[in-house]
């Protein structure tokens, strides 16, 4: 079990629970509303009992083993060190559970016993942590789940709207193609909630364009698999007008270059490699990513809840789409960093801006 203890640069005196603290932009209601958007019009707002700060916040992470997770944890560490955030935090700890539900349950239970005020969770299971999360809330602890969220209504869930992401990609391609031609849809991992939501959002758009036909393949969110299935599709379909891609779409673009096919409008998540190629080859593209900075937004939600501010029970974080024309080296893609680097590291609507060096090196 890996532990990371961060001693925050907290103020010497404790913050007032609401009153003066509410004037701070980190917990100001107007600023929170711009960041945490209710999932639906019927989503309830919840208000926890305000507590005096600074606060002890624990972070229970289900899995540490890919580039997105590494960036996510580095962003969390960097975020709590920023002066506007650090003054709210007396202790910050990260524990990684190795994608083991029982281990994560045990870690959260220990966090309860250790007297943390809030626990931020990227869950190993949608329902497997419900009992221990309910236990934490019953002890007066704020629990915020993000990315891989949970089904208990005791937690605050925050994520990005995957259906909206798929829909926006489809709208871009429909416009770029004039609503005519064949779309190659290189989906993620079949049967997963994220793939289903993204795919449903896309098809709701494509079905309204009578001139479009859609061929679906699965790239498993993997660059190599994306490249293979795209190359296979191009070997039999020479009239592809656009490619709807998600994570791993770098491989789809590489396939076009490999077989010297005519480049067409494409979409992708925020893969640095895809953006490098899109700029270099002038590919009309729309990039939208699942931001690793969701971790920072979750920490902000925990602080706001402890301050007594109202938040949606389930919130969507605003998406930040980038077209090829908007891609700027060193700003939203990084030529000197690996292709696997996830570029969507800031969430301006939530006041989250992390220096790229901190995201890479964890400092």
Question: Mind listing the pLDDT tens digit for each residue in 270-324?
Answer: 999 999 999 999 999 999 999 999 999 999 999 999 999 999 999 999 999 999 9
- The fraction of the chain above a pLDDT of 90, given in percent, is 89
- Asked if residue 334 belongs to a domain, the reply is no
Sheet with 240-245, edge to edge strand ranges: 212-218, 181-187, 240-245, 266-268, 285-287, 322-323
Asked if residues 297 and 305 have their Cβ atoms less than 8 Å apart, the reply is no
Burial class (CB in 10 A: 0-12, 13-18, 19+), 293: buried
Tell me, what's the pLDDT at 21? 42
Tell me, what's the pLDDT at 90? 98
Long-range contact set of residues 321-325: C-beta below 8 Å, sequence gap at least 24: 321/168, 321/286, 321/287, 321/288, 322/270, 322/275, 322/286, 322/287, 322/288, 323/172, 323/284, 323/285, 323/286, 323/287, 324/278, 324/279, 324/282, 324/283, 324/284, 324/285
Q: Is the confidence at residue 9, as pLDDT, over 80?
A: no
- Considering the domain architecture, whether residues 7 and 20 belong to the same structural domain is answered as yes
pLDDT digit string (tens) for 194-241? 999 999 999 999 999 999 999 999 999 999 999 999 999 999 988 999
CA distance 175 to 155: 39
For 66, 231, 334, the CA distances from 259, given in Å and listed in that order, are: 30, 7, 26
Over range 67-77, report the average pLDDT.
Answer: 95
Q: Look up the domain containing 55 and give its range.
A: 3-160+292-319+345-361
- Considering the domain architecture, whether residues 151 and 7 belong to the same structural domain is answered as yes
Over range 32-52, report the average pLDDT.
Answer: 97
CA distance 327 to 278: 9
- Considering the domain architecture, whether residues 213 and 273 belong to the same structural domain is answered as yes
- Asked if residue 298 belongs to a domain, the reply is yes
- Considering the domain architecture, whether residues 81 and 180 belong to the same structural domain is answered as no
Q: Is the confidence at residue 250, as pLDDT, over 90?
A: yes
Q: Is the confidence at residue 1, as pLDDT, over 90?
A: no
- Asked if residue 98 belongs to a domain, the reply is yes
Task: Give the max Cα distance, the chain.
Answer: 69
- Asked if residue 325 belongs to a domain, the reply is no
SS3 for 72?
A: helix
pLDDT digit string (tens) for 90-118? 999 999 999 899 999 999 999 999 999 99
Question: 83-92 b/e with 16+ CB inside 10 Å = b?
Answer: eebbbbbbbb
Q: Is the confidence at residue 20, as pLDDT, over 70?
A: no
CA distance 337 to 96: 26
pLDDT digit string (tens) for 121-150? 999 999 999 999 999 999 999 999 999 999
- Asked if residue 336 belongs to a domain, the reply is no
Tell me, what's the pLDDT at 362? 80
- CATH at residue 258: 3.40.50.2300
- Considering the domain architecture, whether residues 112 and 247 belong to the same structural domain is answered as no
Nearest to 55 by CA among 85, 100, 23, 34: 85
Of 287, 308, 328, the position where a domain reaches its end is 287
Structurally, the chain folds into a number of domains equal to 2
Over range 50-75, report the average pLDDT.
Answer: 94
Per DSSP, what are the bridge partners of residue 5? 93
CA distance 275 to 58: 35
- Considering the domain architecture, whether residues 122 and 234 belong to the same structural domain is answered as no
Helical residues (DSSP H) of the chain, grouped into ranges: 29-35, 67-81, 83-86, 101-113, 130-138, 162-177, 193-206, 223-236, 249-258, 272-280, 294-306, 356-361
- Asked if residue 354 belongs to a domain, the reply is yes
- Considering the domain architecture, whether residues 25 and 146 belong to the same structural domain is answered as yes
- Considering the domain architecture, whether residues 118 and 222 belong to the same structural domain is answered as no
- Asked if residue 228 belongs to a domain, the reply is yes
- Considering the domain architecture, whether residues 58 and 15 belong to the same structural domain is answered as yes
- Asked if residue 332 belongs to a domain, the reply is no
Asked if residues 40 and 312 have their Cβ atoms less than 8 Å apart, the reply is no
- Considering the domain architecture, whether residues 132 and 214 belong to the same structural domain is answered as no
pTM, entire model? 0.89
- Considering the domain architecture, whether residues 173 and 246 belong to the same structural domain is answered as yes
- Considering the domain architecture, whether residues 135 and 180 belong to the same structural domain is answered as no
Q: Is the confidence at residue 2, as pLDDT, over 50?
A: no
SS3 for 215?
A: strand
Over range 35-57, report the average pLDDT.
Answer: 97
SS3 for 350?
A: helix
Of 287, 307, 332, the position where a domain reaches its end is 287
């Amino acid at each position: 079990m890996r532990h990371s203890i961060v001693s925050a640069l907290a103020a010497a005196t404790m913050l007032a629970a609401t009153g003066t603290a509410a004037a701070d932009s980190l917990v100001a209601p107007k600023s929170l509303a711009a960041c945490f958007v209710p999932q639906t019009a019927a989503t309830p707002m919840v208000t926890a009992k305000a507590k005096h700060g600074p606060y002890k916040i624990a972070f229970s992470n289900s899995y540490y083993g890919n580039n997105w997770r590494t960036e996510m944890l580095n962003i969390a560490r960097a975020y709590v060190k920023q002066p506007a955030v650090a003054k709210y935090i007396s202790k910050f700890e990260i524990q990684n559970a190795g994608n083991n539900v029982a281990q994560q349950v045990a870690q959260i239970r220990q966090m309860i016993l250790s007297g943390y005020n809030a626990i931020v969770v990227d869950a190993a299971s949608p329902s497997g942590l419900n009992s221990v999360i309910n236990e934490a809330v019953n002890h007066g602890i704020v629990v915020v789940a993000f990315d891989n969220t949970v089904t208990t209504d005791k937690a605050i869930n925050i994520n990005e709207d995957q259906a909206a992401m798929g829909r926006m990609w489809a709208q871009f391609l429909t416009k770029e193609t004039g609503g005519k031609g064949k779309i190659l849809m290189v989906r993620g991992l079949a049967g997963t909630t994220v793939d289903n939501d993204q795919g449903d959002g896309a098809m709701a758009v494509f079905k309204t364009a009578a001139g479009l036909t859609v061929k679906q393949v699965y790239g498993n969110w993997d660059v190599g698999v994306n490249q293979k299935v795209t190359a296979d599709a191009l070997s039999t379909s020479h009239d592809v007008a656009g490619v709807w891609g998600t994570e791993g779409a770098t491989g789809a673009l590489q396939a076009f270059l490999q077989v010297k096919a005519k480049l067409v409008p494409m979409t992708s998540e925020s893969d640095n490699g895809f953006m490098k190629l899109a700029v270099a080859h002038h590919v009309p593209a729309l990039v939208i990513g699942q931001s690793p900075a969701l971790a920072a937004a979750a920490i902000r939600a925990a602080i706001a809840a402890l301050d007594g501010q109202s938040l949606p029970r389930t919130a969507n974080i605003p998406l930040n789409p980038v077209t090829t024309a908007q891609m700027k080296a060193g700003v939203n893609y990084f030529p000197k960093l690996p292709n696997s680097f996830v570029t969507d590291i800031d969430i301006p609507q939530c006041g989250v801006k992390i220096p790229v060096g901190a995201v890479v090196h964890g400092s």
